[in-house]
Structure formats: C-alpha cells, structure tokens
Structure 1
Amino acid sequence: MIYSRILPFLMLFAVFVVSCKTDDTEETAADAIQMDLFSENLDQELFSCKSVKDVQNFLNKHPHLSSIYFTDSPVDSAQFTSYLYNILQNPDLQAFKKQLDSLIGNRNTTILNPLQKAFKNIKHHYPDFKAPRIEFMVTGFTGNDLYISDSLIIIGLDYFGGPSARFRPDVFDYQLKRYQKEYIVPAIIFFTSNRYNKMDAADQTLLGDMVGYGKGYEFVKQVMPDTPDSLILGYSGENLRRTYNSQLQIWSYFISSKLLYEKSDLRKKKFIEERPFTSEIGEKVPGAIGRWLGWRIVGRFMAENRKVTLVELMQIDNAARILQESGYKGEPDDQE
C-alpha cells in the first residue's frame, strides 16, 4: 500500500465520539515489546550539497526518491537535478529550513517517540507488524507531504511548520489546520490502519464508506489512546463540541434523506469528502460529516460489544451489521 500527497486528498479514500481506550494491561504489554525504529535525516544530507554534482550523487544514493517522492516535479527528469540545486541555494528556503528546525523541534520527541509507541501498540495487536523506516525531507514543497508504504515513510517537514512558518503549503484554508506537526503521527497511523481495515468491495453505499472511515479512526484511537479526537479527525475542538451536541439533528437528516444506502458517487462526496461545511445540512456542520458519523457508529458498536477486540473489529466487513449492533440513533452518550 502506498500513499503520497496525503493530507490534501484525505477525503478521496472511500475505504475509510466516543472511543474505547486500551486498558492499562494492554499498554503495559505493548511497552514491553522490543522495537527498533530506524530513521534518516535526508534533509540535512540534501542541504549539505554544494554543487549540482553533489545533488546528483544524493539522488543516486537514494534512487527511490525520484520515483516515489518527487512525483509532482514541475520539470522533467533531465532538468530536475539542476532545478533542485537552484532551490536549495535560495536564501529564503535556507532561512525557512532553519525556522522549520526550530518549529518542529527535536524529531525524536515530536515524531519518532510517539510513532514508536504507536507501532508497539500495533504490534501488540498484530505480532507480524514490522515498523517501516522513517525518512525526513525538506525540499521547499518540491516533494510530497507524506509518502507511506508498509516498509517506508517519508515525511516532508516543510509542510508541517504550522501557522508561524514563513511558508505554508498551497492548499485551501480549511485544510491548513492539519498541516502542523501534531497531525503527523495520527495521519500516519490512520493510513497504516488501511492494511488491516477489511471492507466489502461490493458495498458501494455511503454507510460502507462511513463505517470504513470510522474503523480507521477507532484504530488510531486505540493505538494512540491519549491523542485528542481533534487530531485524529481533523475537526477543531469547537466543531467537535457543536457537532456532538447537534448529532440528533444531523442523524435525522441522514435518515430522512435516505442517505445511508446511497450509491451515487456525486451525492456521497457531499458527505464524505472535505469541504468548508456541509451546506445541505447547515453552515455550522463541518465537511466530511459522514466520516464523523461513521466513527460515532463504530464507537457505539464497541461500547455495546465490549468483548470485541480491535483485531476483530477491523475484520468485520459488514457495515450494516456494525450499525445494527451499535444501536446508534443519533443520541449523545449521556442520553443512551
């Protein structure tokens, strides 16, 4: 499985709030797992290049970058080495790189240690799991934000400087909030869940998409139990509170509009893909509201079936069964 230029297009993955935390016994068992996490600061190596030849030697040393990371280069391969070298010589980029080092902070503390802890929790549930190698890059947005496969993760740190950074990625304003360092690890774990998230390919309903996303979010919550829901889902705290308090009205709209078993891609996108808000329901309802509802359904299913493990949940490919056994009807938890 391979994912690149991930965050702007999260809503294109149709295979994917109350969640069950892993208990203390499981966390203790996961902490005891031996796992080495290998990482490379390729950005430092790249910025040490002093000539076009040095850049070419760097690319020759790491040939995978040309084929999987620099996939959206604005120039052809014959010109790319010179193009990249010229970017590296730009004083603005050099100043941006120094600022990023300060904004991101210690990479072990910010990224690698939380990743290792999450990977240990995954291995606790899936003993065959092997941690991928981690590579860091800064290229002035020439490469992707994230590349994720089973064996390799490349993190384009230039995308994650946050609101204080001199430069921000060229995405819509409502997407920018996720381009901060705090979102890196939850995004990686969400896409890691894809390899375990069994879905029925024949189920083309909106409900199938909703529950698929919900299972992915639940996976993140269980392997990163201390992570705020806002970092997992990408909603602000205010949107989460407002949506939670309005869920009965939101659910009623889905039911009265007969959306759960809708199969039209055009109509499904309105409730699954990213938008500033869901205009069909109201301007205060955030975009991708179907994803949020999917997580509510999965969360209620787990609450009603406490013996179901994370592994068992991810193996269930029947979205209608999860909805039925969840008993979810749009009620906030304090009313259930």
Structure 2
Amino acid sequence: MIIRFRRMFYIRTLIVIGFFALGLSACKTDSKKEAASSDTDLIQVHVSSENLDDSLFACKSAQEVQSFLNKHSYLSDWYFTDAPVEKPQLAAHLFQILQNKDFRAFKMQLDLIIGDRNASIINPLKKSFQQIARYYPDFKAPEVKFMVTGFSGNDLYISDSLIVIGLDYFGGPKARFRPDVYGYQLRRYQKEYIVPSIIFFMSNKYNHVNASDRTLLADMIGYGKGYEFVKQVMPDTPDSLILGYSEESLIRTYNSQQDIWSFFVSNKLLYENMDLKKQKFIGERPFTTEIGNEVPGGIGRWLGWRIVSRYMAENPEVSLPQLMKNDNAGNLLQASGYKGEKDDEE
C-alpha cells in the first residue's frame, strides 16, 4: 500500500488509492469496544526515525544536495512527486532554498514549534503502532523520515515501509510561512494532526470495501470505519483531531444530527451513486450548503462515523478487525439501529 498526498489530505488520497473514499467529552463517539491495553500489555514495536532535514541543511553546494538525493533516492521517486521543478533541476532548486535567510529563519522557528520530535510525533506513533500490532500481529512498523524543503515536497508520504513527514507544512498558525491551501483546510496543518492523519490513512490497508457498491452510504461507512480505526488505536485523541472539524463545529454538528440525518433520508441520499452528487457530501468543502451554511463540509464522513460508532456500541462482540472486514454497508447500517439520535437517547 502506498499513499502520498500534498496540501489537501482527503481529496489527494481519493485520487491516489482509488477507493472509497477514502468531540469532545460531551459529544465523542462511543469507543468502549476493544479498549486500549495498558502499556505493559502492548506488543513491543521498534520505530526507526531519521532527521533527513538536518542532513539536507548541512549541504554546502548543489553537488552535495545531489549526493544527498542520490543516497536517499526514494525521495525523488516518491516524496518530490509534485516538486516545482523537474528531477534534474531538483538539487539546484533545493540548494537555492537552503541559501535563503528567511527560509533558514523559518526552519529555526519550525524546530521550536514542533519541539522534541520523539515526544510529539515518534512516541505517539509508536504507541499507535503497538495497538495496531495487537489487532494485526503481522504488522511491521514503517521507517519514519523528517524533511523540511520549503514546501517543495509533499506534506506526507505513507507506504507500508516508509513515512516521510514534511514538517514545514505543520507549523500551525504561528509559523512564518504556511502551505498554500484554503483557509478552512489550514486547521489540519498543525503538529497535533500529524499522527492521527497518518493512522487514518494506514487504516486503508485493513479497510475492506465492496468495489461494486457505488452508493454514498458505502463511501460514508468507508470513512466511518477509518475514523473508528483511529479512535480504537488512539483512544485518547479528541474527535476534532481525527475529523479535522473545529471543536465548536463538532459540537454544533453533534447536536444537529437529527436534522442532518433527516435531510439524508428525505432526499434519498444514502443510495445515491452519482459521483458529482456524492462529492457534495463527502468531498472537501468549507460548508455543506445544501443542508445549511453552518454544516461543515464532508458531513457524510462524519455521519458515516456516527453509524459505525453506533454499530460498535450495539454489537459489543465485534472486534476492530471484524469491523474493518465488513464491507456490507447496508447491513452495517441496519445492525447499528442509527436513526440520527445522540448517544444518550434511545
């Protein structure tokens, strides 16, 4: 499995992997199933990491940058897929960026914002990998590489064996420079989103989908299973970091779910199979204007997670691997009993 994406997490992934689609204490999803083991029970997983940006910044010439790229040839093949120059000009381009004083100042600021990479990224990743290994004993942790290239590379590259994290994308609102994306997408470009985003995309390996089911419901359930996967292996992660919604928007959406569900049902959206229409409810948008200007974009993804969450609550014997293997969206909806109600309602 290989996933690479730049700038827009979810849209890019839909194109690359080619299938489905693919808060808060007061309104969090039900994650009682398969509660996380204590640290002493977790399978030991070794995570190898390397600060490639330090090696890049140590280069004193374009020739040294080229030697760096030759040594790490996978970067040119996979990480710099959207670079602003062709491969033969990449070394010169990167060295020119390295010479820029503003960029070097940005790098210093970024190091302060990110802080200890082991504490903020590697250790949470390792803990998540240990949980995955508990469910899937054959799991092998990919190597993790850090890069800073002035947005010349991707934000994240993910495969079964390698993760490359473009830290320059994740400086957050205080960073001197920010990625060129829409304002509503910038929230996800903060360091707190790195690990949940990685685990969400890694869930695709285990997320069985029925390729013949082209309905919006199937896409919604696909996303919902991915989000539930993250919640199960990262149980302390706020739902807002998993979904990419603000906490305020998440609370408002949770409290309005009966109206949202009624809209989907009354407009017969669950079994819609036209891509253009489906994208209005699972695609990247600031709002879902068809329902209301305060309903966040990708509302179908959130609703899919509500269905999956209710399914897990109503079927406590179902394990996470069993959930991920279930590719019958209609059956899962029926077994969930979900009808737009909150968790505390019957």
What are the residue-to-residue correspondences of 1:246-265 with 2, within 5 Å?
246-265=256-275
Superposition TM-score, scaled by structure 2 size: 0.94
What are the residue-to-residue correspondences of 1:1-336 with 2, within 5 Å?
1-6=1-6, 8-11=8-11, 13=14, 14-16=20-22, 17-21=28-32, 26-28=36-38, 31-336=41-346
Distance 2:279 2:205 in 1: 23
8 Å Cα contact 2:132-2:233 kept in structure 1: yes
Greater CA deviation, 264-273 or 31-40?
31-40
Distance 1:314 1:195 in 2: 10
1:31 shift after superposition:
4.4
Distance 1:289 1:3 in 2: 23
User: Runs of 5+ in structure 2 lacking a partner?
Assistant: 15-19, 23-27
The one-character-per-residue Cα deviations of 1:271-322 (angstroms, maximum 9, x if unpaired) are 0001110000000100000000000000000000001000100010000011
The one-character-per-residue Cα deviations of 1:174-215 (angstroms, maximum 9, x if unpaired) are 000000000000000001100000010000000000000000
Distance 1:30 1:195 in 2: 27
8 Å Cα contact 2:7-2:180 kept in structure 1: no
1:6 shift after superposition:
4.7
RMSD: 1.3
The structure-2 alpha-carbon separation of the partners of 1:9 and 1:226, relative to structure 1 and needing over 3 Å to count, comes to closer
1:74 shift after superposition:
1.7
8 Å Cα contact 1:19-1:218 kept in structure 2: no
Distance 1:146 1:30 in 2: 31
8 Å Cα contact 1:8-1:175 kept in structure 2: yes
1:19 shift after superposition:
2.6
8 Å Cα contact 2:142-2:162 kept in structure 1: yes
The structure-2 alpha-carbon separation of the partners of 1:130 and 1:279, relative to structure 1 and needing over 3 Å to count, comes to same
1:333 shift after superposition:
1.5
Letter in 2 for 1:296: R
User: Runs of 5+ in structure 1 lacking a partner?
Assistant: none
User: Partner of 2:17 in structure 1?
Assistant: none
Distance 2:34 2:92 in 1: 53
The structure-2 alpha-carbon separation of the partners of 1:22 and 1:134, relative to structure 1 and needing over 3 Å to count, comes to farther
SS at match of 1:334: coil
1:15 shift after superposition:
3.2
For these two proteins, the number of residue pairs brought into alignment is: 335
8 Å Cα contact 2:114-2:171 kept in structure 1: yes
SS at match of 1:19: coil
Letter in 2 for 1:4: R
Distance 1:43 1:59 in 2: 12
Identity of aligned residues (%): 64
Letter in 2 for 1:114: P
Distance 1:15 1:275 in 2: 15
The structure-2 alpha-carbon separation of the partners of 1:10 and 1:327, relative to structure 1 and needing over 3 Å to count, comes to same
SS at match of 2:38: helix
The one-character-per-residue Cα deviations of 1:24-74 (angstroms, maximum 9, x if unpaired) are 6x5127744121110000000000001111101101110111010111122
The structure-2 alpha-carbon separation of the partners of 1:268 and 1:23, relative to structure 1 and needing over 3 Å to count, comes to closer
8 Å Cα contact 1:21-1:221 kept in structure 2: no
8 Å Cα contact 2:33-2:319 kept in structure 1: no
Distance 2:88 2:169 in 1: 26
1:5 shift after superposition:
2.1
Segments ≥4 residues shifted beyond 6 Å: none
Superposition TM-score, scaled by structure 1 size: 0.97
Distance 2:254 2:8 in 1: 25
